[in-house]
Amino acid sequence: MNTEIKRINRRFFYYLVYIFSALLFIIPVLEIGARIIFRTGVTGSYAYVRQAVLWLSLISGIIAVKENKHLAIEAGVKYLPENIKGRVRIISDIITVIVLACYFFASVSFSFLAFEADEKTGLFFTRHLSFILPAGFFFMFYYNIREFIKKRNKVLSILVILFSVIMSIIPIYNLLSDVAGFSSRFFDSAVDIVFMVSGFALKPLIAVLVVSGVFGTPIFIVIGGITYLLLTVSGGYTEIAVNEIYTVLTGNMIPAIPLFTLTGFILSESRAGIRLINFFKAAFGWFPGGIFIAAIIISAFFTTFTGASGVTILALGGILYVILENYGADKKFATGLLTSSGSIGLLFPPSLPIILYAIIANTDIKEMFIAGLLPGFLLVASVSALGVFYTERKKLKKISIDFKSIVTSVRESVWELFLPFVILFCYFTGLTTLVETGSIAVLYTLIIETFVHKDISLKKLYLITKKSAPVIGGILIILGMSKALSFYMIDEMIPQRLSEWIALKISSKVVFLILLNIVLLITGCIMDIFSAIVVVVPLITPLGELYSIDPVHLGIIFLANLELGYLTPPVGLNLFLSSYRFRMNLEDVYVSVIPFFLIMLVAVILITFVPQLSLLFIR
Amino acid sequence: MKKILFLVIIFLTILTFSSFAQVIKIGTMAPEGSLWDTTLKEIAAEWDRISGGRIKVKIYTGGSIGNEEDIIRKMKLGRLNGAALTSQGMANIDPDLIALSLPMKISDDEEFDYVFNRIIPDFNSTLDNKGFKALAWTMSGWVKWFTTQPVSTPDDLAKLKIAVDNSDEKVIQIWKRIGFKVIPLALPDLMSGLYSGMAQGTYITPYAASALGMAELTPYMYDMPITPLYAGLFLNSKSWERIPDRYKEEIIAGTSAVIEDFYDKMKKIEDEAVEVMREHGLVITPQTPSSTELWVDKVNTGVDIYVKEMISSEMNRKMNSYIDEYRNKKN
């Protein structure tokens, strides 16, 4: 009995994620149904979907903490000597605990200050719904401090908790004085001291956060910590950070992100990959370099759904690698090809980075989707060209056309092959909104993988949500934190100042574009795509205006550069994933991507300087 | 010890200096360069003049600081001091504030003018209870139907799927109850929804319709005022209290003076915008007394129940009494 309770306890958050993921796609599906059948929607469905995303994000965030899977830059730690590693780890742990405590108190204060007691969302009180924020941060804090107490000595742990409370004094003060009407002189001066100390120590503290980020502190902690400090110093409105998280996660388009991620996970956990590989092998294998092209197209297919979360290399890398090797490719070439294909579908609909870019930059999502097509094909073609060239040079044998196997493989994979068309049809004909399209995608893949192919059982479905939770949580929490930071930048009018400054220094559009390429390449190299979009896009959109670059074209430049950034040594994300997946030295992976990097660089330069590639169909 | 003393002195100096200039941050959804933007800038200059440079207004346009719902939260949290809000967003402070925007309740400028002036004191006390201070109110324009096919009677509209902002569930319910086919859409989805045919019409001010370039998508405008869009400039009470008393009266007077001819200017801009849309193919169906009656009857079938849930009976009673007052006077 006792163990049963413990088991349920351990699985509690996973069950919750399961429930909220289900709600997230069922509600829009019901909405579509109601609209078609009754010609009217479901009452309040949108409000519920938005709240479901908020809950899903926080709960998944807790899971990511429990599993230690929040996105972090691990590159720095690798090169540290053993004896220093431990110390760096302690500092990183301390920072994490303190930042989470600050956000816990700030979100309690936020829930009480931002929502009236009688304010309602659907049938629920909005304030009650917003309690997931403090609850989420509390559990993240709790799991971190529990680990900390287990690993380190008690005195240090108590000091850390004490310091957490001191750093949180401002939201505690706001809560007590504004909500409970409490006031005391001692308290006032304590707050003043924190203001003063943070003010004087702002720059060193931010530097510590940034450096610790390079050495493995989760990115959401680094961004969140910096934002919290900046907000503390500029007037103490720390609840604003939580408000931004709330606002962005309850945004209208955001539900599309977990929905398409879930679709990607269902696909990668089923045998869809194998079926598609069989098809593309049969369909393209006879062509010189056809096997390589098939691998690239499959990667494109999967990265479209999974964005740049690295799922493609992890889920399909293994099997594709074996196929390429059997075909006669050497280790180096196969690794290079798969690494550079690890985010190659980024520019095709319904790619999440495109959606997110359009939301943040306030451009039209549909236009962005259309604009991404040609540049996307250009990137696919350039990597494929290398494959063809390699085949010719190595005189690899071609596979002869076998119509029978084409027919069987088509029959097997026809449902998955239809998926992109289902999505494009629903969205572009106006049958469904973007979020609804996401839920259709989940429903469609669920039906084909559970009922048609019987790859996925109910139990496996649970495992899939379990696997997808830390990814979804990781992305969405970073999204929330980054939004808070970009709010601070807008509040301080930093984008305007930056563009004024750059306008003074650079007069030529060409020079600007080259610089933009370099900066974005570095950004893509060190930052995950979601943080990069939320933090960097508000800075570059006014610049685009300044040099009269079409906002849609700017978006494509941005994403193409980031895509390339993922294979830029020394710290591009795909390089690590490949090194991990193919059990290769990082240095060898660097060497393997060089030819691919160069040819994709040419493609990115073309995309940057030939706007027609992006704008042909929309302007 | 000396060090601490030194720090405290620096801190106090910063504190005293900073109290000299008070920065008031104001957010709005209106884009840069719009009439709202220029009006707010005039108001800012006015406050600067009145306070001798002690009050500096910083304006965040185009929703750069958030949408109206978010702007209101930021005022509650104290990060924003004020906002220029439309009646659409005001519901997030208190639904009573949008009493006048019930569809087909008020029929023209003259009637609105009378009722608005009568009800503003009630609005002000509602705001006061919620921790806000209104510095100015103004009419901003009438919301009208823009559709893909000509509409003049409720039955014409009932054939079409109309897009309604998905943020306010009660408003969606009103239209559904009246018997229209409602597609709740987020604003970013509106244009593509109309483009793809998911929705075949929406209600919006002609000024906004022209800014969004809707004439091509929905080439028919039914020239009947459905509901007034009014607006207000609010501060949160804390920020208002911090403004030195000696400036307060003048600030209110100065703000009202700037905003007084806002609606006249707006009407002029809107007329020009409609003219441009007409050149681009907008067809305007004029309002007729007989069809107006049909609309009033039809709308009344759905509004009543939801009025009870949205607006306090007190505010509803007041509004109705002001409307009666006006109609009796007129007759």
A359 lies within 8 A of chain B by CB: yes
Closest chain B residue to the Cα of A126, Cα to Cα: B92
pLDDT for position A2: 62
**Chain A interface mutation, best of B169, B305, B306, B312, highest count of A Cβ atoms under 10 Å:** B169
- Rounded to whole angstroms, the Cα distance separating A468 from B42 reads 52
Of A196, A240, A252, the CB nearest to B11: A196
pLDDT in tens, A133-153: 999 999 999 999 999 999 888
Q: In this structure, what DSSP letter does residue B283 have?
A: E
Judged by DSSP in three states, B138 sits in strand
Which residues of A are less than 8 Å from B195 in CB distance? 430
Could you tell me which of A63, A86, A76 has the C-alpha nearest to residue A473? A63
**Measured between alpha carbons, how far is A72 from A87 in angstroms, rounded to an integer?**
17
Segment B204-220 mean pLDDT: 86
pLDDT of residue B7: 59
Alpha-carbon gap, residue A134 to A118, rounded angstroms: 19
* Region for residue A441 given its phi and psi (left: phi exceeds 0; alpha: psi -120 to 50; beta: otherwise): alpha
pLDDT of residue B11: 57
Residues of B with CB under 8 A from a CB of A: 7, 11, 25, 60, 64-66, 70, 73-74, 76-79, 130, 161, 166, 169, 172-173, 176, 181-189, 191-193, 195-198
Substitution target from B26, B165, B192, B238 for chain A, most A beta carbons within 10 A = B192
Are B207 and B270 spatial neighbours (Cβ–Cβ below 8 Å)?
yes
Among A122, A247, A252, the residue with its CB nearest the CB of B66 is: A247
Pick A47's closest partner by Cβ from B66, B169, B197: B169
Shortest distance between the Cα of A125 and any Cα of chain B, in A, equals 14
Q: How confident is the model at residue B40 (pLDDT cuts 50, 70, 90)?
A: very high
Q: What pLDDT shows up at residue A43? A: 67
C-alpha span between B154 and B297 (Å, rounded): 10
The partner residue sitting opposite A39, judged by closest CB among B79, B181, B196, is B181
Residue B9 has pLDDT above 80, yes or no: no
A364 touches chain B (CB under 8 A): yes
Whether complex ipTM tops 0.85: no
Q: What is the helix (H) or strand (E) element at residue B55, kind and residue range?
A: strand B55-60
Q: Count CB atoms within 10 A of the CB of residue A321.
A: 21
Cβ pair A495, A539 in contact under 8 A:
yes
> Residue B134 region, left (φ>0) first, then alpha (ψ -120 to 50), else beta?
beta
Adjacent-strand bridge partners of B64: none
Q: Are A42 and A456 in contact (CB under 8 A)?
A: no
Q: What's the rounded Cα separation, in Å, for the pair A569 and A586?
A: 9
Helices (H), A434-528: 434-447, 458-491, 494-505, 509-526
Q: What is the pTM of this model?
A: 0.84
Q: What is the pLDDT of residues A585-595, one digit of tens each?
A: 878 888 999 99
- Coil, strand or helix at A38: helix
Q: How confident is the model at residue B10 (pLDDT cuts 50, 70, 90)?
A: low
- Cα–Cα distance measured from residue A90 to residue A152, given in angstroms and rounded to the nearest whole number: 9
Q: Which of A27, A42, A46, A434 to mutate to test the interface with B (most CBs of B within 10 A)?
A: A46
Q: Which residues make Cβ contacts (< 8 Å) with residue A296, sequence separation at least 6?
A: A337, A341, A344, A380, A383, A384, A387
User: Where are the alpha helices (H) located in A395-447, listed in sequence order?
Assistant: 403-428, 434-447
φ/ψ of residue A396, rounded to 5: -70, 145
**What is the pLDDT, as a whole number, of residue B67?**
85
Give the per-residue pLDDT at B223. 92
Query: In this complex, which of B70, B169, B182 lies closest to A40 when CB atoms are compared?
Result: B182
Amino acid at A485: L
Compute chain B's Rg from CA coordinates: 22
Quick: pLDDT tens for B52-94.
Answer: 999 999 998 877 788 889 999 999 998 899 999 999 889 889 9
Say which residue, A568 or A384, is predicted with more confidence: A384
Contact indicator for A365, A317 with CB cutoff of 8 Å = no
Q: Does pLDDT of A181 surpass 80?
A: no
Check A430 against B198: CB less than 8 A apart: yes
Over chain A, what is the mean pLDDT? Answer: 86
pLDDT band at A58 (very low <50, low <70, confident <90, very high): very high
Q: Report the residue of chain B nearest A232, measured CA to CA.
A: B79
Q: Choosing among A118, A254, A431, A491, which should be mutated to test the B contact, i.e. which has the most B CBs within 10 A?
A: A491
Q: Which positions in chain B touch A116 (Cβ < 8 Å)?
A: 130
Q: Is A239 on the interface with B (CB under 8 A)?
A: yes
Give yes or no for residue A597 having a pLDDT over 80: yes
Q: How many beta carbons lie within 10 A of that of residue A204, not counting itself?
A: 9
**Would you state the pLDDT for residue B131?**
93
Contact A353, A520 (CB under 8 A): no
- Of the partner residues A39, A43, A113, the one whose CB lies closest to the CB of residue B77: A113
Does position A517 have pLDDT exceeding 70, yes or no?
yes
User: Which residue of B lies nearest to A197 if distances are taken between CA atoms?
Assistant: B7
How do residues A60-81 score in pLDDT, each as one tens digit? 999 999 888 777 766 667 777 8
Q: What is the DSSP letter of B139?
A: E
**Of how many residues is chain A composed?**
619
Whether residue A618 has pLDDT greater than 70 = yes
Average pLDDT, chain B: 87
The residue among A448, A479, A391 whose CA lies nearest residue A58 is A479
Q: Are A345 and A376 in contact (CB under 8 A)?
A: yes
At residue B291, does pLDDT exceed 80?
A: yes
CA distance B119 to B122: 5
- Backbone conformation region of residue B226, classed left if phi is above 0, alpha if psi is from -120 to 50, else beta: alpha
